[in-house]
Amino acid sequence: MRIFVDANVIVSVLNKEYPLFTWSSRLLSLQEKRNIQLFTSPISISVTLK
């Protein structure tokens, strides 16, 4: 399964924004536990770094 990760999810994990942090970090940890591929776009990375 492939899951698109939006910039909001990445930002909430990097900034530890509660209550979104708990759900976002769980989403990102799915890649390790199951056969799931996470991907994002270059524009999402650009938005995250601003």
| φ, ψ (nearest 5 deg) of residue 4 | -85, 130
30 near 36, Cβ under 8 Å? yes
pLDDT tens sequence across 2-35: 999 999 999 999 999 999 999 999 999 988 877 8
First to last CA, the chain: 30
Residue 42, CB-side half-sphere exposure with 13 Å CA sphere: 0
Look up the pTM and report it. 0.78
The predicted structure's pLDDT at residue 24: 93
